[in-house]
Structure 1
Amino acid sequence: MTRAVPPAEWAPHSAVWIGFPSHPELWVEDLEPARTEVVAFARAVHAEGRGERVLLVAADDEAATAARAMAGDFAEIVVESFGDIWLRDTAPILLSDGSARDFAFNGWGGKYDLPGDSDIGRRLAEDRQIAVESCDWVLEGGAVDGDGTGLLVTTRQCLLNPNRNPALDQAQIEQRLHDDLGFSQILWLGDGLMHDHTDGHVDNLARFVAPGVLAIPEAADNDPNWLVYQHAAAVAAEMPGIELVRIPSPGRVLRDEEIVPASYMNFYIGNAAVVVPLYGAPNDAAAVAALEKLFPGRDVVGLRADAILTGGGSFHCISQQIPG
């Protein structure tokens, strides 16, 4: 009997949840720019009706009013309290049989304990009348990426970090990934990007773009993560059945003179469009062109994501698709 697994992101979606920046105290001067970038991303995913239904999730009535004013009629506004917009990590993960799994969440290893984040996944699933099962161990959606066949890629830095599931070893986590999400084969990479407060989420490092085809950045000359990319590619190349493709990296991206975890890998694969975060880096256009070759049936749209990145993530981090 074939187990249900999360469909690959390029499989059809009926809708997508997208977090809308809602808390001024978290975003400060970046609140309005981040809202503008989020709505532009949502509009690109909707693709004038050719894409999926967009569910903009606002944490309160003030944010919902702002979202309605900015998005107009193309998006449905969902009001559910949450701590922050990173729904890839806090929303439920849906499987090919239509059910959902909601995992424990501890603020990325205890870093950010915000009201509403621990149960937003169940509430979102119940709001859409999706059958949801709770899983009693910590897992964030951005920590894993699957190709729809039962093959998963993740990083040791995150999934084996003692600040997540200190009582579970690698074999036990592998068993739970199999039991709860149906994964039968796991590619373990090492570390994630420098200064990534998620402890190395894989959706900033490596993404499946087709069954068995894994995209990993090719470092720019000034990239602080060049060794991370080199190691990830070497490990992936050793796994039978994996085909590697390389995407140019943005190189060194600074915010207030600090290196930030900017990555083109945080793209979102929608029904009609692949939306790629851009940072004003020299390789922006080259990254879009590389992804166009991998997704010939979709529009590949590059959009600036500087303000969203101030919160620690980008387009993939703020979204969670609903298959169908």
Structure 2
Amino acid sequence: MATVSPSFRMPAEWEPHAGTWLAWPHRTSDWPGKFGPIPWVYGEIIRTLARYETVNVIVRDADMKERAAAILKRVHADTANVKLHTIRTDRSWVRDSGPIFAYDKAGKKTALDWHFNAWAKYPDWRVDDKLPGIVAKKQGVPAVQPTYKGTRIVLEGGSIDVNGAGLLLTTEECLLSEVQQRNPALSRADYEAAFAQYLGVKRVIWLNRGIDGDDTHGHIDDLARFTSTNTIVTVVEKNEADENFAPLQENLERLKATKLTIVPLPMPSPVIFRKQRIPASYANFYIANGVVIVPTFNDPQDRHALGTLAELFPDRDVVGIHCVDLVWGLGTLHCMTQQEPK
């Protein structure tokens, strides 16, 4: 990778948070025929997170604010730790549409306002694309729009994972494929240079493909995640007849070649609804202050995934969140959250 002087550093997810950002669900077509329980799932997630840190909840309008507040009260969330912000959104997947917070050279917090175009797949993204700038203004931090070769860069938070010390995980399928192509003008070397400048990355670890049913075409946060500066968990499929077996084995071999500590994480049995396979993965966990929330799927592997992550995060509570309904929206806990560092 070419030597580039970094302007920013993206901290690891486990570094201290000022809070978590998420957006209250309102787009019924994201959970067709199954939207009813989704606000209650969000209520449970917020209730859990609010025990450990501030939760900033984006609501579309005054009516939604009232409904969200009523649900949070009924689930006994610590509302002293919950802030409701009225901001319009297209969808509620803040990991991808929200700001990625970083520190500048002086250690000042900055909101990186990457371009968002709905995974290069859906036409309605222009409201979500404004979200990082609005959040930055509310929080009183500067916003910077990353560019490369004069063009604003499209990047979703779910497509990358960092250890805060110079390493970044991503996939070729998401960033280099011509399918759902985010940045046609950018090569592998261009991405690496941009990551060096804006995220403080010295080395990019490229995996190949994502899991079956992934609407994003290869997001890393369903595949492999840093749990410390030198440890990565990666999902592995044991059933050789499963569509995920071969690509996950290839990703595992690539990770082993890094000489980092690689810990396997199981995959749940296929989650299928309306004859569609849904991207259920234990790698979509979210690390907050004092807690790691982990998606569970009423599957025997739930306890193995929770146990593995509990061993990797001995200083945090590890809490399973039932996500069989939530994952019908093609994402779970990491997809819906975005950390704001202190």
**TM-score, length-scaled by structure 2:** 0.89
Change (3 A) 1:270 1:101: same
What amino acid sits opposite 1:15 in the alignment?
A: G
CA contact (8 A) 2:285 2:293 kept: yes
1:109 aligns with 2:128: no
The amino acid across from 2:55 in the alignment is: V
* Partner in structure 1 of residue 137 of structure 2: 126
Tell whether the 8 Å contact from 1:278 to 1:303 is kept in structure 2 after alignment. yes
* Cα distance, 1:26 vs structure 2: 4.1
Conserved 8 A contact 2:111-2:132: no
Runs of 4+ residues over 6 Å off in structure 1 = none
Q: Does 1:306 align with 2:324?
A: yes
Instruction: Give the match for residue 56 of structure 1.
Output: 57
Q: Decide whether the 8 Å contact of 2:117 with 2:125 is kept in 1.
A: no
Q: CA deviation at 1:120?
A: 1.0
Conserved? CA contact 1:223–1:249, under 8 Å: no
Q: Matches of 2:277 and 2:28 in 1, distance apart? A: 24
Query: CA 1:223–1:296 in structure 2 vs 1: closer, same or farther (change >3 Å)?
Result: farther
Change (3 A) 1:270 1:315: same
Does the CA-based 8 Å contact 1:253-1:281 persist in structure 2? no
- Aligned-residue offset at 1:148: 0.8
1:145 aligned onto 2:152: no
Residue 334 of structure 2 is aligned to residue 316 of structure 1: yes
Worse-superposed segment, 26-35 or 148-157 = 26-35
1:253 paired with 2:271, answer yes
Match of 2:82 among 53, 75, 78: 75
* Deviations 1:225-267 (CA, angstroms, capped at 9, x unpaired): 1212211110011124x21011121131111222111000000
- The aligned residue for residue 156 of structure 1 is 172
Query: What SS does structure 2 have at the residue aligned with 1:99?
Result: strand
TM-score by length of 1: 0.94
Partner SS, residue 44 of structure 1: helix
CA contact (8 A) 1:21 1:63 kept: no
Alpha-carbon distance change, 274 to 253 in structure 1, aligned in 2, over 3 angstroms: same
Per-residue CA deviation, residues 37-67 of structure 1 (Å, 9 max, x unaligned), is 11211211122xxx11001111222222111
- Taking a change above 3 Å as real, the CA distance of residues 38 and 112 of structure 1, as seen in their structure-2 partners, is farther
- Is residue 223–residue 250 contact of structure 1 (8 Å, CA) maintained in 2? no
SS in 2 for 1:277: strand
Write the distance in 2 (CA, Å) between the matches of 1:86 and 1:167: 26
Q: Is it true that 1:92 corresponds to 2:99 in the alignment?
A: yes
Written as runs of structure 1 = structure 2, the 5 A alignment for 1:265-284 is 265-284=283-302
Matches within 5 A, 1:208-287: 208-221=226-239, 223-240=242-259, 242-287=260-305
Q: Provide the secondary structure at the position in 1 that maps to 2:8.
A: coil
What's the CA shift for 1:107?
A: 1.1
Q: CA deviation at 1:223?
A: 4.4
The match for 1:20 among 11, 21, 24 is: 24
Q: In structure 1, give the amino acid aligned to 2:63.
A: E
Distance 1:34 1:109 in 2: 25
Percent same amino acid at aligned positions?
32
Unmatched 5+ stretches in structure 1: none
Q: Deviations over 1:243-295 (max 9, x none)?
A: 10111211311112221110000000010210001111221111111111011
1:194 paired to 2:195: no
Q: Which amino acid aligns with 1:199?
A: H
Spell out, residue by residue over 1:113-170, the C-alpha distance to the aligned partner (whole angstroms, 9 max, x if none).
Answer: 2441111111111111111101211100000000010100000000113321001111
Deviation at 1:310, TM superposition (A): 1.4
Distance in 2, matches of 1:18 and 1:126, equals 16
Q: Which amino acid is the alignment partner of residue 144 of structure 2?
A: E
Quote the offset at 1:186 in angstroms: 0.4
Distance 2:82 2:98 in 1: 18
Aligned length: 320
